[in-house]
Structure 1
Amino acid sequence: MRIAMVVATLSSGGAERVTTNLAGRWAGLGESVTLITWSDSADDFYPVDSRVTRLGLGLLHDSPSWFAALFGNLRRIRRLRRVLRALRPDVVVSFLSKVNIVTILACRGLPSRLVISERVHPPRAPLGAPWEQLRAWTYRRADEVVALTRETAEWLAVHAGCKRVSVVPNAVFLPLAVGEPSVDPRAIVGSDGNILLAVGRLVEQKGFDWLCRAFAKNCTQFSDWSLVILGEGPQRDRLESLAAELGISERVSMPGQVGNVADWYARADLFVLSSRFEGFPSALIEAMAAGCPCVSFDCDTGPRDLIDDGVNGKLVALGDVDALAGALGGLMRDPALRARFATRSEGVLERFSEERIMAGWRAVLSG
């Protein structure tokens, strides 16, 4: 089978990591896979399997005006259409909302089966009026839509008119990819202290401002704990300023993007997901698979599919910083509870195994 995959970029992010993993697995099964991005391939953060054909269009640019944005997207549609006509794939698979819309428009009239993958819960991540109208008009024209959760599948059927929606959550792909930069946890927090770990882009969605406030409420009582946030993004300065304002700068580290996140999961004493919304959080499922005890906000979708509250982790009411602080403090002071959650959290390895999730994708691709 010839598969063409389309995503905006392979910069650090959950959707980008999933795309890279799927491409490598399909190539390993003998499929002919081409991975296309709007960005140039030189900007990749995640390594791509050598059996995958990598094609960067070099069309990922900031748009200073609505006219420039319109022109840029028309260029993407035309260029992608030319590429797909030349490749003649059996299946085109695109990821992320705006990329999905552009890919649907580029594929009109082409014989390839078209599958789009929605990576967030749309009502929690509105695109703006023009894009929302385009989603309502285009999504129903895809041969199949893949959602990460049942709630998202239901929303797409009602609000986007999608007739065929399959639920295929993220898999636990092990071992986790290793790349650069490699940052030794001991170089950041030493060997003796306890680590509260969070992973994600430094953007508002990830709720790291809430996390800093919750951690600050525990700093005095738990002086041997440090908060480490792995990731990079536009909110770095704001988060650093907030940590200084809260008086916790010396207890909070933000090393940036790392290529050895598995080492950090292994070193962490507790993992926290503080997001305002999620699709199906890759970092949370990876942390649980690695045996980390986990605390998470109960987002509209995602964490509740992974955590059975009080059994294999702790769910906290979305946005309740005091409750998050209380849940973190309870686990910081109770190593036996952390150990119990850690042991039970590894059950995600079976529920979201590579074999099970890839079988779901095979059914989608074959139609």
Structure 2
Amino acid sequence: MKIAFLLHNAYGIGGTIRTTMNLATALADRHEVEIVSMMRHRETPRFALDPRVRLVPLVDVRQESADAKDPLFFEASRDFPAAEKRHHQYNRLVDTRVAEYLRGCPADVIIGTRPGVNVYLSRFAPRRALRIAQEHLRYEAHSKKLRAELAPHYRLLDAVVTTTKADAAVYRKKMPMPGVRTLAIPNSVPEPAVAPSEGTAPVIAAAGRLVRGKRFDLLIDAFAEVTAKFPAWRLRIYGGGAEKERLAERIERLGLSGSAELMGSYSPIEEEFAKASLVAVASDAESFGMTIVEAMRCGVPVVSTDCPLGPAEIIEDGLTGRLVPTGDKQALASALMDLMADAPARRAMAAAALESSRAYDPAPLARRYDQLFEELRASRSARFWERGRATARARLRRLARRFGISPARRTPAAGGKASA
């Protein structure tokens, strides 16, 4: 079977890129797999790509490239949804190249990995192929305008795959898609190439984009409470982003310059997690929680806010990690200090976390995708008719509203009762 993944930019750094490459590598054991990058901004990818997986860049955005001089490069995209936050990075040249690729794509399965790319998939991919949209962000993270743009396109696909069961339930409730299989398959995280943490270093690690939603400010404030009682412990925050300067000022203002540090971006992050004894997540929301699984794979327990939607599906509170209320500085500090003060409990939790993390091995998750492909092929005819019946009912309802007709009630047969 031939499988194609559509990525925004396979040459960058990010959780979607990593998990796509992980899944592509696992599927390459049984299939012919390629990753199609809408654009490229450097010569080689930042993440190592399995040589069995073919990488196909469509538009080279580097200033010296021929693509960057094409007149279409300077025209705004007409096909990428306007409400998608990456819209400003797309143009008519990308539209054209994507349409050309998809219309001639020989793949049996085509998988999109972000909302705007999934719209391309719906618009241009051949109907003979299975067309699957992955959602790496929460439904609620999309604006109302974007959700309205996505709905008619997602309803033409074969499946929508979220990273959590909770988010799949939200899609089923708020974006009904007759004939479209809506389900959750978590991101895969391979076993790291480093030995598990010994759990003895007085280090708390955290990682992610330095943006407001990740609440590194809350973590720094909580650590200020912690360091007064545990002065030997250090906080290391890995990542880059718009909040870097503000967070640095906060560290200095709280007198934490000697104990809390912004480390910059590291890849792979597992090498740094393995040097820590705890990992902290203070986010207001997580669509999945790659950082949590990556830490657990290194034998490091995670203290996380119980934010929607991912952490509670990954961490078993009190066994493989700790969950605390979102936005609660004291609860976060208290949970960290409980584990800092109790090395045996910390080690037991680390062992349980390491064992639990094996559920995210790429191989079994790739088999779940294989099962999905088989199910979608087998149910294609039934799903086609399900979609057709739903479309017909919707048209009848619109006509009834247009002409002010109330839904007809069935008349009971003579001597009988009306149906319930």
Per the TM alignment, residue 41 of structure 1 is displaced from its structure 2 partner at its CA by 6.0
Distance 1:66 1:144, change over 3 A: closer
The structure 2 residue matched to 1:175, chosen from 160, 182, 192, is 192
Corresponding residue of 2:117:
99
Per the TM alignment, residue 272 of structure 1 is displaced from its structure 2 partner at its CA by 1.0
SS of 2:349's partner is helix
> TM-score if structure 2 supplies the norm length?
0.76
Provide the C-alpha distance between the structure 1 equivalents of 2:14 and 2:39, rounded to a whole number of angstroms.
Answer: 14
Percent identity of paired positions between Structure 1 and Structure 2? 28
Provide the C-alpha distance between the structure 2 equivalents of 1:263 and 1:15, rounded to a whole number of angstroms.
Answer: 20
Per the TM alignment, residue 360 of structure 1 is displaced from its structure 2 partner at its CA by 0.9
The structure 1 residue matched to 2:355, chosen from 339, 347, 357, is 347
Corresponding residue of 1:180:
none
- Determine whether 1:253 maps to 2:261: yes
Distance 1:262 1:71, change over 3 A: closer
Instruction: Determine if contact 2:210/2:240 at 8 Å carries over to the other structure.
Output: yes
Corresponding residue of 1:307:
315
Provide the C-alpha distance between the structure 2 equivalents of 1:74 and 1:134, rounded to a whole number of angstroms.
Answer: 19
The structure 2 residue matched to 1:329, chosen from 330, 333, 337, is 337
Per the TM alignment, residue 347 of structure 1 is displaced from its structure 2 partner at its CA by 2.5
The one-letter code of the counterpart of 1:138 is H
> TM-score if structure 1 supplies the norm length?
0.87
Q: What runs of 5+ residues in structure 2 fail to find an aligned partner?
A: 63-72, 377-420
Per the TM alignment, residue 110 of structure 1 is displaced from its structure 2 partner at its CA by 4.3
SS of 2:364's partner is helix
Corresponding residue of 1:26:
27
Per the TM alignment, residue 38 of structure 1 is displaced from its structure 2 partner at its CA by 2.3
- Determine whether 1:86 maps to 2:94: no
Instruction: Determine if contact 2:76/2:92 at 8 Å carries over to the other structure.
Output: no
Per the TM alignment, residue 317 of structure 1 is displaced from its structure 2 partner at its CA by 0.7
Corresponding residue of 1:52:
53
- Determine whether 1:360 maps to 2:351: no
Distance 1:282 1:63, change over 3 A: farther
Provide the C-alpha distance between the structure 2 equivalents of 1:248 and 1:64, rounded to a whole number of angstroms.
Answer: 48
Aligned pairs for 1:213-292 within 5 A: 213-292=221-300
Provide the C-alpha distance between the structure 1 equivalents of 2:253 and 2:127, rounded to a whole number of angstroms.
Answer: 56
Per the TM alignment, residue 73 of structure 1 is displaced from its structure 2 partner at its CA by 5.2
Distance 1:89 1:231, change over 3 A: same
Instruction: Determine if contact 2:130/2:158 at 8 Å carries over to the other structure.
Output: yes
The one-letter code of the counterpart of 2:192 is P
Corresponding residue of 1:146:
161
Corresponding residue of 2:182:
165
The one-letter code of the counterpart of 1:276 is D
Provide the C-alpha distance between the structure 1 equivalents of 2:362 and 2:133, rounded to a whole number of angstroms.
Answer: 20
Q: What runs of 5+ residues in structure 1 fail to find an aligned partner?
A: 178-184, 186-191
Tell me how large the CA RMSD over aligned residues is.
2.8
Provide the C-alpha distance between the structure 2 equivalents of 1:32 and 1:215, rounded to a whole number of angstroms.
Answer: 48
Instruction: Determine if contact 1:14/1:281 at 8 Å carries over to the other structure.
Output: no
Corresponding residue of 2:400:
none
Corresponding residue of 2:145:
130
Corresponding residue of 2:37:
37
